[in-house]
Homo-oligomer: A and B are copies of this chain.
Amino acid sequence: MSTFGSQFRVTTYGESHCASVGCIIDGCPPGLQLTAADIQVQLSRRRPGQSNLTTPRDEKDLVHIQSGIEHSVTLGTPIALLVKNEDQRPKDYTETDLYPRPSHADYTYLEKYGIKASSGGGRSSARETIGRVAAGAIAEKYLRQAHGVEIVAFVSSVGKVNIPSSVGGHAASHEDDDDVEDALTPEFRKLLSTVTRDVVDKQQTRCPHPETAERMVKRILRAKEAQDSIGGTVTCVIRNVPPGLGEPVFDKFEAKLAHAMLSIPATKAFEIGSGFRGTEVPGSKHNDKFVRRPDGRLGTTTNWSGGVQGGITNGEDIYFRVGFKSPATISQPQATAQYDGTEGSLAARGRHDPCVVPRAVPIVEAMASLVVMDMLVQQNGRTATASLLPPITTLPPTMVMPPKAKQIVAGGAPVDGEVAKNE
């Protein structure tokens, strides 16, 4: 269905060419200061027409808040948002009356519903992501205010153009060679711990490594000129997430994150922490050893885990990478069959992104914030509920949390509503 999340929940609606697209956000905490501007900033980063690297479809994508907010403060009730579809050109899509676009959703939607939108991608259009980005902006504002959470995504590769060492360590050499480096080079680790959206947005490709960014521009323009398209990857880091988030077993933190990311159009791959690369590294080197941090809490010396152990956040930086395939809609002719099986050639008209990863950056950030937020509300419910029980005195001391640690994680509900430090 079109709903994501359990306690902080977003339901989206809208096709490429209907009256509007939007969403209802349910479960937003009451008392959050919020205006349309808080949401618009991410919508504008997502919207088409930002540069000559993206689709020329020009949408202002102005958000209209319908409910749930008074005097710029959330009421705790559902927040409905909508963005009008203004620049519709259904005529562009007439070829698709006859042809299902290869690797697009045309054919499978028809298989699924027995009917399809008369033009364009319908519900599979990237315009559907507007609701996600808007909802994510709200979650993110809460997380920043309450926990100082920072979520920054950026383009780590376009085609074969990669930020150096972004996938960690040296390349696989002989299979008996265990002398691996860290999953993250010191440079890349530093990038993850310091990168900001400002730095990312300085490049139209949203790659924060300027030299690589330039090569990415060239790669994208080459695809554009060839009426072709090219894929890429987006890496995202989430800093300052409290430990303890993620439900063991089926709803592990990384499982929800993978779910969220693979729900973004055009994604085909996900890895967290050391990812596929980490499968090659022996446990003795891959294990993140514990060490006491200056604030008294336990931290880890390395971070191959990517901030999640046993499906639960451990307080370290969470980082992951998402693979986006090359956009399916291209203008060069393709030899492919019509719906009725007739062989032919399709050259798509319409306006298309030769590469979606720069615009995918705010979408990845939005989905990440939705996952963190939902997990946080769920864990807060558990912690606050458990905290009302009398202390356990009958247990072996090794089974209960050492008092100091407990004080730090307690989390739930500070009396005075201040931002909980060090979480």
Query: For the complex, what is the distance from the CA of A414 to the CA of B415, rounded to whole Å?
Result: 8
Can you list 9 residue pairs at the A/B interface with Cβ under 8 Å? A108-B243, A111-B244, A115-B400, A157-B280, A231-B283, A259-B262, A265-B311, A269-B270, A390-B417
Query: For the complex, what is the distance from the CA of A325 to the CA of B13, rounded to whole Å?
Result: 36
Tell me how many chains of this kind the complex includes: 4
Q: Could you say which residues of chain B place their CB within 8 Å of the CB of A153?
A: none
Q: Could you say which residues of chain B place their CB within 8 Å of the CB of A300?
A: 102
- The count of chain A contact residues (Cβ–Cβ below 8 Å) is 210
Asked if B378 and A304 sit within 8 Å, CB to CB, the answer is no
Task: Name A265-285 residues within 8 Å CB distance of B.
Answer: 265, 267-276, 278-284
Contact flags (1/0) for A64-78 with B, using CB distance below 8 Å?
A: 111111111101111
Evaluate whether A113 and B269 lie within 8 angstroms (CB atoms) in the complex, with A279-B157, A339-B402 already known.
no
Q: Could you say which residues of chain B place their CB within 8 Å of the CB of A272?
A: 262, 268-269
Name the distance in Å between A314's Cβ and chain B's nearest Cβ.
5
Name the distance in Å between A356's Cβ and chain B's nearest Cβ.
11
User: Which residue of chain B has its CB nearest to the CB of A22?
Assistant: B80
Among A28-36, A45-53, A189-197, the stretch that binds chain B is A28-36
The answer, among B7, B142, B232, for a CB contact under 8 Å with A378, is B7
Kindly state whether residue A317 has any CB partner on chain B within 8 Å: no
Query: For the complex, what is the distance from the CA of A411 to the CA of B415, rounded to whole Å?
Result: 10
Task: Name A101-153 residues within 8 Å CB distance of B.
Answer: 102-118, 122-124, 128, 142, 145-147
Kindly state whether residue A187 has any CB partner on chain B within 8 Å: no
The answer, among B75, B257, B283, B394, for a CB contact under 8 Å with A122, is B75
Asked if A73 and B228 sit within 8 Å, CB to CB, the answer is no
Kindly state whether residue A359 has any CB partner on chain B within 8 Å: no
Q: Could you say which residues of chain B place their CB within 8 Å of the CB of A71?
A: 118, 394-396, 399
Q: Could you say which residues of chain B place their CB within 8 Å of the CB of A327?
A: 283
The answer, among B160, B256, B286, B420, for a CB contact under 8 Å with A259, is B256
Asked if A73 and B112 sit within 8 Å, CB to CB, the answer is no
Asked if B123 and A248 sit within 8 Å, CB to CB, the answer is yes
Name the distance in Å between A233's Cβ and chain B's nearest Cβ.
6
